[in-house]
């Protein structure tokens, strides 16, 4: 401790409390302490003195700006009016502990101050849309996400460091402070270094989409960021003894310094040596690292990107990188081409699926789905109109049409040649398409587009092909041609068309969400696809209504298993619903131990009618059970 000790306190503090704190100071320092009212302009002290300060944040900051060139030891005494000082210097909240910290010889002493445009500050300066990261309750946060998220816009920014490194970028918000303060405030953005208490440190927030901004804001709220990993998308950090942030378009930058609003076209931050030493609770300040730290790879730096993000509000979805574009288009162009291997796989899958349909074998049909390559050109076609790529569109359409023709012809010839003419359950399953089938196709289109855009999940496309099942309904349609049955062909081909439309709508939308198209181009293509979906949904809706009506009939009879007629118990089984021109019929199979009399049969019919209602007819088959 210094040979002289002062206790400067706010004039509003009660005398008894002042005396109590003075006693604690003298006990800890073993030096007579002079108590007086704090005056921010007072700076005449004996060199080497220890100054205990208990005043509000604003007064302390102004006083420190006048005093930091003096040889003093400054101890901040916790007070309800200096929370900023307590947080910035990690001062214990208990007075006794803060004084004890000052007496500890191993305690770190801050020997630097931070200046913003030559004005001293002790906390964090935020420039830009500081409302975006403000701590708030759940209700206020959701209100911000709802009302303000879609209007976020980056501003152009030029960053210069002490060693004359320059970065031109765009930012939504920057936060700047001493390295120690920023490590405490945003510890998840900074790597642990030998010296966390020397330089100026800054975090540059530059989310490049509304989705990215929402995700980043959620991470900040939950603090679920691992500092050992790379920085999240849209985040950059810069450390230097001096940082200059300059407006990229000449407009003033609005910023807040220790809670006070200001603006300037250029903001200069400096970390300068201080003769006055401030007692802190900082850790990790033993080293003397002076190397500048720049982690700006996640910030937009190309002039085109900076211009794009600063002229209008953030796009809803991120823009894919040029490398991702190139990789995706290479895959799609290859997928759109008709090759010998493609034709071979298509023909084998069609013949296998047709065989499985006649066998009524699910495993055989699933094997055909895995082999079928038809998903690839459909996904390619979904991307072509988004970018108005005529070449890709023409090639994918050509491949799809030729594939459909080959599949229909092969399955029709195969069905005509085989000596079978009955509809199996596997065939029947594909002649009653509903809106649920369109929903499956949409979900599969989402998965397919994501698989093409992300090579890590590309291997799962076989599962997508199984989910959509493009080839089996196409083969059933071919069987309908081979048998000369229009109902079979039309219903199965409707299912196939529903699958294609679902894939086109969903995969195109997914490519847009993943950032592979702009809103301008995607909206026109998406409107056309939605129109296609609406057209195909009409017959599917009619078919779905039939299924829903059937389900209502099943539900009426769900609890009907047995009927007691006199001393006879009969087993009831609803085997299906038949839709005839004159109306709907419920088909019953009734198992009886003996032949029923006319009266008993009438009783059974009466019971069934009471459950079923008068709007549905009945087809009843009696079966006798012999012991």
Residue 222 has pLDDT above 70, yes or no: no
Of residues 61, 48, 54, 57, the one with CA closest to residue 24: 54
Return the higher-pLDDT residue of 18 and 582. 18
| Residue showing tokens 């402070």 | 177
Tens digits of residue pLDDT in 315-340: 777 776 666 667 777 877 887 888 88
Asked if residue 25 lies in contact with residue 33, where contact means CB atoms within 8 angstroms, the answer is yes
For residue 466, give the nearest of 358, 363, 397 by alpha carbon.
363
Span 578-599, average pLDDT: 81
- Within 8 A by CB and 6+ apart from 144, the residues are 131, 132, 136
Contact 309, 170 (CB under 8 A): yes
Per-residue tokens: 534: 């609406």
Strand boundaries in 209-358, DSSP class E: 235-240, 242-247, 253-257, 260-264, 266-279, 293-295
CA neighbor of 35 nearest in space, from 50, 19, 57: 19
**Residue 50, Cβ neighbours under 10 Å: how many?**
24
The pLDDT of residue 205 is 94
The CA distance from 366 to 218, in Å, is: 42
463-486 pLDDT, tens per residue? 555 556 788 999 999 999 999 999
Is residue 413 within 8 A of residue 455, CB to CB? The reply is no
Contacts 24+ apart (CB under 8 A), 574-578: 577/550, 577/553, 578/619
pLDDT at 162 over 80: yes
Burial letters 261-290, b for 16+ CB under 10 A, else e: ebebeebebbbeebebbbbbbbeebeeeee
Q: Give the residue among 108, 352, 309 at the shortest CA–CA distance from 208.
A: 309
pLDDT in tens, 421-448: 888 888 888 887 888 888 888 888 787 7
Say if CB 372 and CB 470 are below 8 A apart.
Answer: yes
DSSP string, 93-144: SSHHHHHHHHH-TTS-EEEEEEEETTEEESSEEEEE-GGGG----HHHHHHH
Strand, helix or coil for residue 215: helix
What pLDDT, on the 0 to 100 scale, is given for residue 146? 62
C-alpha–C-alpha distance, residues 502 and 532, integer Å: 9
More confident residue, 109 or 549: 109
**CATH domain 5-107 topology:** Rossmann fold (3.40.50)
Q: Can you tell me the distance from the alpha carbon of 181 to that of 174, in angstroms, rounded to the nearest whole number? A: 14
**Confidence at residue 467, expressed as pLDDT on a 0 to 100 scale:** 52
Residues 304, 309, 311, 312, CA torsion sign: positive
Query: Residues 128-151: what's their mean pLDDT?
Result: 66
- Residue 459's pLDDT is 47
Using the predicted structure, report yes or no on whether residue 297 has a pLDDT greater than 50: yes
Q: Please tell me the least confidently modeled range out of 154-158, 203-207, 406-410, 579-583.
A: 579-583
Is a pLDDT exceeding 70 seen at residue 143?
A: no
pLDDT at 140 over 70: no
Q: Is the pLDDT of residue 149 over 90?
A: no
Q: Domain 119-272+282-311: give its CATH code.
A: 2.60.200.40
Structural contact between residues 467 and 439, judged by C-beta atoms closer than 8 angstroms: no
Residue 174 has pLDDT above 70, yes or no: yes
Average pLDDT of every residue of the chain? 83
Q: What is the pTM of this model?
A: 0.65
Burial classification of residue 87, based on how many CB atoms lie within 10 Å of its CB (0-12 exposed, 13-18 middle, 19 or more buried): middle
Instruction: Tell me, letter by letter, the H, E, C secondary structure of 420-462.
Output: CCCCCHHHHCCCCCCHHHHHHHHHHHHHHHHHHHCHHHHHHHH
Residue 7 scores a pLDDT above 90: yes
268: β partners: 244
**Above 60 in pLDDT, residue 394?**
yes
Instruction: Provide the 3-class DSSP secondary structure of residue 481.
Output: helix
Looking at residue 322, its pLDDT comes to 63
- Residue 462, pLDDT > 70, answer no
Tens-digit pLDDT profile for residues 24-75: 988 888 888 889 999 888 767 888 899 999 999 999 999 999 999 999 999 9
pLDDT at residue 308 in the model: 81
Q: Closest by alpha carbon to 243, among 180, 201, 298? A: 201
Q: Tell whether the model's pLDDT for residue 285 goes beyond 70.
A: no
pLDDT band at 288; cut points 50, 70, 90: low
Going from N- to C-terminal start, the domains of the chain cover 5-107, 119-272+282-311, 322-551, 562-624
Mean pLDDT of 231-252: 91
Highest mean pLDDT among 114-118, 392-396, 575-579, 595-599: 114-118
pLDDT (0 to 100) of residue 605? 86
pLDDT number for residue 238: 93
Which stretch of 106-110, 400-404, 583-587 has the lowest confidence by average pLDDT?
Answer: 583-587
Q: What is the pLDDT of residue 137?
A: 56
* pLDDT tens-digit series, residues 497-532: 888 888 888 887 787 777 676 555 556 566 666 777
pLDDT of residue 393: 85
The residues facing 72 across adjacent strands are 49
Structure tokens belonging to residue 544: 């779905």
Contact 460, 414 (CB under 8 A): no
pLDDT above 70: percentage of residues in the chain: 86
State the pLDDT at residue 408: 95
Percent of the residues in the chain that have a pLDDT greater than 90, as a whole number: 32
d(Cα 215, Cα 232) in Å, to the nearest integer?
Answer: 10
């Amino acid at each position: 401790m210094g040979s002289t000790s002062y206790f400067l306190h706010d004039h509003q503090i009660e005398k008894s409390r002042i005396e109590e704190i003075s006693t604690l100071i003298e006990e800890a320092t073993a030096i007579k302490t002079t108590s007086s009212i704090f005056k921010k302009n007072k700076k005449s002290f004996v060199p080497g003195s220890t100054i205990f300060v208990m005043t509000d944040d604003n007064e302390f900051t102004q006083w420190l700006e006048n005093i930091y060139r003096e040889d003093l030891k400054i101890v901040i005494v916790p007070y309800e009016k200096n929370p900023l000082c307590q947080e910035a210097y990690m001062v214990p909240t208990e007075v006794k502990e803060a004084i004890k910290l000052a007496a500890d010889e191993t305690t770190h002493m801050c020997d630097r101050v931070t200046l913003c445009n030559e004005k001293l500050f002790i906390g964090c300066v935020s420039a830009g849309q500081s409302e975006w990261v403000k701590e708030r309750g759940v209700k206020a946060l959701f209100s911000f996400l709802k009302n303000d998220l879609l209007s976020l816009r980056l501003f152009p920014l030029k960053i210069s460091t002490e060693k004359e490194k320059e970065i031109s970028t765009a930012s939504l918000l920057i936060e700047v402070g001493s390295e120690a303060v920023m490590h405490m405030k945003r510890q998840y953005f900074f790597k642990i270094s030998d010296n966390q208490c020397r330089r100026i440190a800054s975090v540059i927030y530059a989310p490049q989409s509304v989705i990215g901004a929402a995700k980043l804001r959620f991470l900040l709220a939950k603090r679920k960021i691992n500092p050992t990993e790379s920085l999240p998308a849209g985040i950059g950090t810069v450390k230097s003894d001096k940082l200059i942030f300059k407006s990229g378009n000449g407009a003033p930058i609005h910023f807040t310094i220790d809670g006070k609003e200001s603006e300037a076209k250029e903001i200069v931050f400096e970390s300068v040596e201080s003769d006055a030493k401030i007692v802190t609770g900082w850790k990790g300040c033993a080293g003397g690292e002076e190397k500048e730290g720049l982690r700006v790879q996640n910030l937009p730096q190309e002039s085109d990107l900076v211009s794009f993000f600063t002229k209008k509000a953030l796009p809803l979805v991120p823009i894919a990188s040029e490398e991702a574009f190139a990789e995706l288009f290479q895959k799609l162009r290859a997928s759109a081409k008709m090759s010998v291997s493609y034709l071979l796989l298509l023909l084998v899958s069609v013949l296998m699926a047709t065989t499985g349909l006649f066998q009524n074998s699910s495993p055989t049909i699933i094997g055909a789905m895995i082999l079928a390559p038809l998903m690839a050109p459909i996904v390619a076609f979904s991307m072509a109109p988004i970018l108005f790529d005529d070449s890709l569109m023409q090639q994918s359409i050509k491949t799809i049409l030729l594939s459909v023709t080959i599949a229909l012809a092969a399955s029709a010839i195969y069905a005509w040649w085989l000596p079978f003419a009955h509809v199996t359950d596997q065939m029947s399953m594909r002649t009653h398409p509903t809106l649920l089938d369109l929903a499956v196709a949409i979900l599969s289109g989402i998965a397919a587009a994501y698989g093409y855009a992300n090579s890590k999940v590309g291997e799962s496309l076989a599962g997508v092909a199984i989910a959509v099942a493009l080839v089996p309904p196409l083969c059933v349609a071919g069987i309908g041609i081979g048998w000369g049955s229009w109902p079979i062909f039309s219903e199965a081909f409707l299912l196939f068309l529903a699958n294609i439309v679902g894939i086109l709508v969903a995969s195109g939308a997914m490519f847009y969400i993943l950032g592979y198209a702009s809103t301008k181009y995607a909206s026109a293509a998406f409107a056309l696809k939605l129109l296609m979906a609406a057209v195909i949904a009409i017959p599917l809706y009619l078919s779905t209504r039939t299924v829903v009506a059937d389900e209502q009939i099943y539900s009426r009879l769900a609890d009907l298993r047995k009927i007691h007629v006199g001393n006879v118990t009969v087993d009831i089984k609803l085997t299906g619903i038949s839709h005839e021109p004159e109306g709907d019929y419920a088909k019953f199979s009734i198992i009886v131990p003996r032949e029923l009399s006319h009266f008993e049969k009438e009783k059974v019919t009466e019971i069934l009618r009471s459950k079923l209602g008068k709007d549905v007819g009945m087809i009843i088959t009696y079966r006798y059970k012999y012991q």
